[in-house]
Amino acid sequence: MIFAHDTEIALGSVVDLINTLTDTVDGLLTPGDLDEFITAQQFSGSRTHNDSELRSVRQLRTQMREIWMATEDEAVEQINFILRNARALPQLVKHDGLDYHIHATTPQAPLSERMAVEAAMALVDVIRSGERDRMRSCAAADCGAVLLDMSKNRSKRYCDTGNCANREHVRAYRQRQSSQKP
């Protein structure tokens, strides 16, 4: 295990959130899309199900992509801002059959704030463990997705959103084939 269990889950959620937006598809266009995402991620706590909730989660998505792609110092600045702004207060909690994990907001805080703080707390773990280089973007030429490399030898290069690894292998194979032709 590289990170604590709740950190890994939170980082997975950040990756999934960022990857709801691709060059061609926006998976968070309606409050219904957001409901689906939140259910899939098993986020607990209060909801408003309105447009402003959706808007603030979409803003968070943009911010998380910026943090993911930023230099370490820039990322730290934004992470600290999120924690300060939300007056994050880390507490160990148990709920819904989950063992002790960290909440740093109350269940009544707005959804986007709870998501932001959970992400920020996980990113704190990543950065202070010196594991920042596991936060990557997909190496496939036509893919803008991000990924978290949890492999032992830090060898993961392609995202899990589509078929990027396969596609790149086929492309490389075809390139070899065509360069061998007379």
State the residues that interact with Zn ion by CB under 5 A. 138, 140, 143, 145, 159, 164
Q: Please give the distance of CA 45 from its chain centroid, rounded to a whole number.
A: 19
Long-range contacts, 100-107 (Cβ 8 Å, 24+): 101/4, 101/5, 101/6, 102/6, 107/44, 107/45, 107/46
Q: Which of 111, 159 has the CB closer to Zn ion?
A: 159
Are 14 and 120 within 8 A, CB to CB?
Answer: no
Q: How far is the CB of 77 from Zn ion (least distance, A)?
A: 27
168 close to 158: Cβ distance less than 8 angstroms: yes
On the CB side of 22, CA atoms within 13 Å amount to 12
- Considering the complex, what minimum distance in angstroms separates the CB of residue 5 from Zn ion? 11
CB of 20 to Zn ion, least distance (A): 14
Q: Which is nearer to Zn ion, 155 or 179 (CB)?
A: 155
Minimum CB–partner distance for residue 159 and Zn ion (Å): 3
Q: Note whether 20 and 54 are within 8 A (CB).
A: no
Q: Give 142-156 as a 3 state SS string.
A: CCCCEEECCCCCCCC
- Closer residue to Zn ion (CB): 29 or 92: 92
Q: Is the Cβ–Cβ distance between 104 and 121 less than 8 Å? A: yes
In whole angstroms, how close is the CB of 143 to Zn ion at the nearest point?
3
By C-beta, is 24 or 180 nearer to Zn ion?
24
Nearer residue to Zn ion within complex by CB, 39 or 178: 39
